[in-house]
Amino acid sequence: MMRILKAFAVLLHYPGRDLQLHAGELEGMIRGDPRLSAPTRDEIVDFLRVMRRRDLMDQQADYVGLFDRSRSLSLHLFEHVHGESRDRGHAMVELQEAYHEAGFAVAVSELPDYLPLFLEYCSLLPEAEAIDWLERSGHLLQTLEARLVRRQSGYAALFRGLLEIGDLELLEPELRRRIDQESRDDTPEALDRVWQEEPVTFGPTEGCGGAKTHTGQAVPVDVSRLGGQG
């Protein structure tokens, strides 16, 4: 099993007190993984140390600002591929079936394409299978890394680490230049346009298989399960 991917799942999840309490253990896992380059390891360790001492509410506000208010940085992978089309639902059903076949029980009402959940699943697989899943999502990981670099976010190092674990390259220079020219979708003006274009709904929305999910809802990733082989 690839225990290192469990660490990335925790680090990419909504920040909580458990993450701060287990930061030392996470740092040890990052430093001990030979698949990560020295510069990437150092950046992730610096990121962890900042998270360990920084006010938790400030971290949570930054996380929401990055990943929940910006569709271009959504941690729901299929949103980047299918948007809100019916194809996204079919893709999520197939991913849910893969989870079920592997004996991975999802005990939270989160969509299966949520990246921390996906990485937790990959962490339970044999290394070759986990790498195959990373390769399939490689272009999305490359794009998110480039967008986070543009935002000067410490989370960029985590995506760079995932690319290194999957033995994947960074996004090509020409595509990075295109990303640098993208219009921001998290400005007040852009957010106003979203509110104007979308109908207002109240209460939870239907997720895959009838599961309920809320915008910006954080689901727990069990930090205590970091132990194991891999």
pLDDT tens across 72-89, in order?
999 998 878 755 656 677
What six digits make up the tokens of 216? 């910006």
CA-closest candidate to residue 37, choices 212, 229, 165, 173:
165
Low-confidence ranges of the chain (pLDDT < 50): 194-195, 198-225, 227-229
Q: Which uninterrupted H or E stretch holds 52?
A: helix 38-53
Cα–Cα distance for residue pair 18/223, rounded to 1 Å: 7
What number of CA atoms fall less than 13 Å from residue 160's CA on the CB side?
19
pLDDT tens for residues 163-199? 999 999 999 999 999 998 888 766 655 555 544 554 4
Residue 70 CB contacts under 8 Å (≥ 6 apart), including other chains: 184, 185, 186
Alpha helices in 74-217 (DSSP H): 77-82, 86-101, 115-123, 127-136, 138-150, 156-165, 173-180, 188-197
